[in-house]
Amino acid sequence: MPIETVTQEHRPAGVIAAASWRVRTVNVQQGYRLSITCNDGTSGIVDMSALVNSANAGIFAALKDAQLFQQVRIELGALTWPNGADLDPLWVHEEIKENKTWSVPI
């Protein structure tokens, strides 16, 4: 079952995520993929499968645990996980806007 996170539920009080490149919603998909929508309506798929399965995944290696991967949250417009892993929202926005599907590089 897909899990959806919405920015408003996961931001510190008084902080407004207004930049167009901020992630607004995220849905966890199968195969280490995330369906995202940004503040400006840009939407697409972030495919993290190559990264989490890489021998050089670093902090992202822990996300191979499906339960941890599904704990993705949005903090100040960025995709984050409880282990400290995160993705730069500007980079995510640029890649999704241009390609609609982004395979996060290793």
Residue 85 pLDDT: 97
Q: Give the chain's domain count.
A: 1
Asked if 69 and 32 count as a contact pair (C-beta separation under 8 A), the reply is yes
User: Of the candidates 99, 105, 106, 83, which has an alpha carbon nearest to the alpha carbon of residue 36?
Assistant: 99
Q: What is the CATH number of the domain that holds 37?
A: 3.30.2020
> pLDDT, tens digit, for every residue of 29-77?
999 999 999 999 999 999 999 999 999 999 999 999 999 999 999 999 9
Range of the domain at 74: 4-103
More confident position, 55 or 2: 55
Task: Tell me what pLDDT residue 54 has.
Answer: 95
